[in-house]
Structure 1
Amino acid sequence: MKKTLISTIACITVMTAVLQAGAAEKLTLMLDWFPNVDHLPIYVAREKEYFEKAGLDVKIMSPSDTSDSLKLAMAQTVDLAVGYQPQTIMAAAEGLNPRVVGRLVEHPLTTLLYMKDKDISSPKDLEGKKIGYTVPGMMDLLMAAFAKRNGIESYEAINVGFTIIPALVSGKVSAVMGPFKTYEVVEMEHQGIEAEYFELEKYGIPDYDELIFLASPQTVEKRERAITAFSDAVQKGIDFARANPEEALELYFKALPEADRRMETDAFEATLPYFAKNQENDRSRWETFADFALEAGLIEKAVDISPLLTR
């Protein structure tokens, strides 16, 4: 009798586990770039089972092109995308109506990057030069606004996509708009290349959230509970990383064993202070950037940011 009871309890336990596993809600997430420490809290959330405990099964994917993530989210090919605040405002001005469902990095990391000893000391020194950009439809427009604000009257814009450092080293371009001061600058240092850069927020571009999570209006309507659970789990990943940086980094390397351990350790140290402190959007900052975008010619019509922000 006792043996039968134990067997019955064991079967129930196994069945419960199977049912719970089967009940996990699947979400697909498209990154903005190849996986790197900018995305570390997402991987921490997965490795610490924050997603699983929230009833989620999150599939993380990398884009084949730098402008893919927003487009795929809006087409509902993926549920969520890592994107950028400027890109979101530009998309809204074009009538795409993306929804901001969470935050990852809460201040600008983007720079106008160039190599040291190239006779560049001020933005005006880029007059007439070839300037690369990383994300079509955003970084080229941001470069145009930067040029307008800093008196650069002519330059040639070239899409370099992911090939930032090769484009600089080969002389294909004199500078690139889009690299992060916490990543590509560190990567160049590890390659023995001295880098210099202009921080956008110090040259006329307002403060903004560098990395955010986006979804289509239809996906938000259908998957609101899962999306909220996702962003809350990511915030737990951020909080864990801030409190336990060494352990968080090891979890990241466990998830991505092919990562350059030495370089990404330094990049993580530089990035950690910029991760979002919470998942609440600062509406005043969004309004300030939207006003700037209109004035600077990034967008052709005013954007009401209220429908964009879900939190």
Structure 2
Amino acid sequence: MKRALALAAAVAALVGLTACGEKEETTTAGAATRSITLMLDYLPNPDHVGLYAALENGDFAEAGIDVRVVTPSDPAAPLKLLQAGKVDLAISYEPELLIARDKGAPLVSVAAIAQRPLTSLVSLKRGFRGPRDLRGGRVGTAGIPYQSAYLRTIVDAAGLPADSVKETSVGFNLVPAMLSRRVDATLGAFWNVEGVQLQRERRNPTILRMDELGVPTYNELILAGEKEFVGEQGDLVRAFVQALGRGYAAARADPQAATDALVQANPDLDAGFALASVRASLPVFFPSDTSKPFGWQEPRDWDRYGAWMYEQRLLSERPNAGAAAITNEFLAGQSG
């Protein structure tokens, strides 16, 4: 979830960031424009390709929205700043949202950006085929509680004794921990980011996705808002979400052009890697049910995942996640 290749830790600090609700500004052409401050979940990367395609193609401008994109100084910051009213919308993760809500945060997910888990079990060991090969081994994680729960679930589903696999916290140094052979596998890297990079480096990784290993499926990346803001600024949220969806649709139609927009805005990204990652990621940005719009969140999946989190003692109460934690009302073709 929180990125393993620490891409230089969090470069952009939040100095001077102030609360930004819906505001009226005047463009040089004299048209009224509303503004939104969006906080990313991490540094800009291929997961955000649709955002940068929408910015480049003028989708937000056409909707009358001026978007300010900010990055977190700490991966835990987006939802905290969202609750504090310092940003209007934030990209985050389904488990993080459910944990925040369990602690009383009045937050709601208004769209899914990644429909499936991106978090993966990765090993560079020769002969590693699956979880059964973890017996007697060490698995590196970032030390996040729900990653520990993923590992317990995987070990149990594989029929291994709970004490046959050792978890080692390696922080965000997941890939270096494998390269140095400190661990036999890692859990936490994204298959579409670190996994793609390892494949490009011809390190022959074995990559297994969470929902293939016994963990209930979930939306890895979500777009979250504070309930009062979402309720009061519904038209603005709807316009933003649907413009964002057009950006991801443009990326699907022309991955090269969308990647060019991403890299142009973030020149530290390697263009070859970015394109490979975008191509690998595109299917996960859209529902498998083609009758559903971009951003769709399946209530039953949220209920199952929320129940699993409760059973793993990650939540103090069983959440009514499918009804309370999400809304699809701002998606194309949907209504409140």
TM-score, normalised relative to structure 2: 0.79
1:276 to 286, 289, 298: 286
Q: What RMSD in Å do the two structures reach over aligned CA positions? A: 2.4
Residue identity matched to 2:199? E
* Counterpart Cα distance in 2 of 1:152 and 1:114: 20
Question: What does residue range 97-176 of structure 1 map to in structure 2 within 5 Å?
Answer: 97-117=106-126, 120-127=128-135, 129-134=137-142, 136-150=144-158, 151=160, 153-154=162-163, 155-161=166-172, 163-176=173-186
Question: Does the CA-based 8 Å contact 1:115-1:195 persist in structure 2?
Answer: yes
Question: What does residue range 54-73 of structure 1 map to in structure 2 within 5 Å?
Answer: 54-73=63-82
SS in structure 2 at match of 1:213: strand
* Residue aligning to 1:292: 308
* Counterpart Cα distance in 2 of 1:78 and 1:135: 27
Report the number of matched residues: 293
TM-score, normalised relative to structure 1: 0.84
Larger Rg: 1
Change (3 A) 1:121 1:302: same
2:190 to 180, 186, 195: 180
Shift of 1:258: 2.5
* Residue aligning to 1:303: 319
Change (3 A) 1:226 1:203: same
For structure 2, the residue ranges without an aligned partner over 5 or more in a row are 1-25, 288-293, 329-336
Residue identity matched to 2:109? V
Question: Does the CA-based 8 Å contact 1:140-1:157 persist in structure 2?
Answer: no
The yes-or-no answer on 1:211 pairing with 2:221 is yes
Change (3 A) 1:61 1:144: farther
The yes-or-no answer on 1:19 pairing with 2:30 is yes
Question: What does residue range 27-42 of structure 1 map to in structure 2 within 5 Å?
Answer: 27-42=36-51
* Counterpart Cα distance in 1 of 2:156 and 2:257: 44
* Counterpart Cα distance in 2 of 1:143 and 1:299: 17
Change (3 A) 1:140 1:216: farther
The yes-or-no answer on 1:254 pairing with 2:271 is no
* Counterpart Cα distance in 1 of 2:96 and 2:155: 18
The yes-or-no answer on 1:48 pairing with 2:27 is no
* Residue aligning to 1:77: 86
State the Cα deviation string for residues 7-57 of structure 1 (Å, max 9, x = none): xxxxxxxx984432xx32222222122211111001111111111111211
* Residue aligning to 1:239: 249
* Counterpart Cα distance in 2 of 1:159 and 1:224: 41
State the Cα deviation string for residues 249-299 of structure 1 (Å, max 9, x = none): 222222223210111111111111111242332112111222222234333
**Greater per-residue helix proportion:** 1
SS in structure 1 at match of 2:206: strand
Q: Which moved more, 1:72-81 or 1:30-39?
A: 72-81
Change (3 A) 1:96 1:126: farther
For structure 1, the residue ranges without an aligned partner over 5 or more in a row are 1-14
SS in structure 1 at match of 2:67: strand
* Counterpart Cα distance in 2 of 1:223 and 1:103: 19
Question: Does the CA-based 8 Å contact 1:113-1:179 persist in structure 2?
Answer: yes
SS in structure 2 at match of 1:179: strand
Shift of 1:135: 7.2
Question: Does the CA-based 8 Å contact 2:38-2:67 persist in structure 1?
Answer: yes
Shift of 1:64: 2.6
